[in-house]
Every structure is written in structure tokens, then in C-alpha cells.
Amino acid sequence: MLSYSSYMLTALAALLVTCHALQKCPGNPRLPGVPGLPGRDGLKAQSRLQGLLESLDTELILLNLKHRLSRLEGVLALNGKTKEVGEKIFASNGKEVDFASALESCEEAGGTLATPTNEEENKAILSIVKEYNRYAYLGIKEGETSGQFEYINGTPLNYTNWHQYEPNGKGTEKCVEMYTDGTWNDKRCNQNRLIVCQF
């Protein structure tokens, strides 16, 4: 897979290097006329060629970006820093802060707090919690009605993994932490808990 994409990159790069050497790249206002094709036909062929080179340039940029991204993902996964489940990537920096600061850190990094919406995601977050052996705040909070919890974007929960007898805070524990066995506890929001974000 990697060697194939590397081959494609090299091949496309060679093509574009040639086009740059011949000064026939997209962005050059005019290409020389196509021999044997006079006037209007020549211009048509010229603009088709220009379009082709432009789309090749875009393809090369996209391939290069994909290649660099997959290498970055490989490095992060290898260091055990990320857990990927479906479309989601979970990650931690190992720091422990209160709920508001944890959410802020995740949002500053372009994500949000880790929010398990099924068992698989819960297990992925749990693996990070276990790695650091620290409880983590989840992207879940108590709604208007006490005892009723929702996602931080205000939508109702479609999956829960409460510890036995939880939630029990009755309005006094508005945040939710994950224990090191993956179960949840409603908890005051001012504790220091592991930052786990999702992207």
C-alpha cells in the first residue's frame, strides 16, 4: 500500500517536473500552439491539456497530503498515543485538569472531550484511562432535569455504562468520570481528571 502510493507520487512528480521544465504547467497563461492543429482546434487542445495538467497537479497535492497524514497517524498509533474507532480518534496528553479546562484543551486542539456512544468507543477510551491509570472526564453533563444526563452538545444519551448505583449526585454532581474499569460515575466538575479528547 505504502510502496504503491510512493510509486504513484514519484510517477506524478516526474510528470509535473517535466511539465515545469517545459513551462507547460497550469498557471502559465499561454501554452505554445499544438503543431498541425491550427486556430480554434489548437486552442481547444491547448485548454484541454491545461485542464489535464491542473487536475494532475491537484491529484499530486492530495496524494502527497494523504501520504504525509498516514505516516503521522502511524507514528502516533505506534507510540500508543491514539486509539482509532471507526471515524473517531481518541487521544490524551496525560494531563489532569478540571472539566472546563479539559474541554477547553480538547477544543483548542480542534476536537472535543471523549464521548463514548457505544461499547467499542467506551473500550477505546478505557484503554487510555488504563494506560495512565487515571479517571477521565467524559463529554457528558447533567441537563436541566437533575439525574438526567446528556451529551455536551445537548443531545440525549444513546448509550450509557453507569457503575452500579450511579448516577447518584441528584443535581450536585454535574459531570461524568470514567473509572479504570470503564464504568461511569457522576462527579463534581472541579476535580483533576485525565484529559482524553476525541477528534
Residue nearer to Ca ion on the CB measure, 121 or 186? 186
The residues, any chain, with a CB within 8 Å of residue 181's CB and separated by 6 or more, are: 126
Least CB distance to ligand MAN at residue 188 (A): 8
Contact present, 48 and 24 (Cβ < 8 Å): no
Decide: is 148 part of the binding site for Ca ion (CB under 5 A): no
Nearer to ligand MAN, 121 or 173 (CB): 173
Please report, as residue ranges, which positions from 172 to 191 form the binding site for ligand MAN (by CB under 6 A): 173, 185-187
186 forms part of the interface with Ca ion (CB under 5 A): yes
Q: Which of 40, 124, 131 minimizes the C-alpha distance to 89?
A: 124
Residue 57 contact, options ligand MAN, Ca ion, none, Cβ 5-8 Å cut-off depending on partner type: none
Q: Do residues 184 and 138 make contact, with C-beta atoms less than 8 angstroms apart?
A: yes
Say what the alpha-carbon torsion angle 92, 93, 95, 96 is, to the nearest 10 degrees: -20
**What minimum distance in Å lies between the beta carbon of 169 and ligand MAN?**
6
Count of residues near ligand MAN by CB under 6 A: 7
- Is cis: bond before 167, omega within 30 of 0? yes
Give me the residues that bind Ca ion (CB under 5 A), please: 168-169, 173, 185-186
Give me the residues that bind ligand MAN (CB under 6 A), please: 166, 168-169, 173, 185-187
